[in-house]
Amino acid sequence: MKYFVEFVVSALVQHAGEVEVKMTERPDSIDCLVHLNSLDMGRVIGKRGRTISAIRNLCNAAAANGSKQVRIELVETN
């Protein structure tokens, strides 16, 4: 899942080299921190949050048959 999130976010942003994904797995959830350049935040969030919402929906669908919830949080590096 880490590579999927990194692949999708890197394809959306202009500073793809600065994208870093850190994942922490817990018994009931998977926490995902996405570090990216502050100039690319709008591209990943999208209009009315539709892009990040779509990424979250895809990750939740892929996560262990729905038994785990995926939480994706965006963090600015600059």
Counting the structural domains of the chain, the total is 1
Q: For Cα atoms 38, 56, 42, give the angle at the middle one, nearest 5 degrees.
A: 25
pLDDT tens, N- to C-terminus, the chain (78 residues): 899 999 999 999 999 999 999 999 998 889 999 999 999 999 999 999 999 999 999 998 888 676 788 999 999 987
Give the structural domain span for 16. 2-76
> Could you give phi then psi for residue 75, rounded to 5 degrees?
-130, 130
pTM of the complete model: 0.87
Strand order in the sheet with 29-36: 20-25, 29-36, 69-76
Can you tell me the distance from the alpha carbon of 78 to that of 71, in angstroms, rounded to the nearest whole number? 22
| CATH code for the domain of 29 | 3.30.300.20
Position of tokens 């999208």?
46
Q: What angle do CA 72, 73, 78 make, to 5 degrees?
A: 140
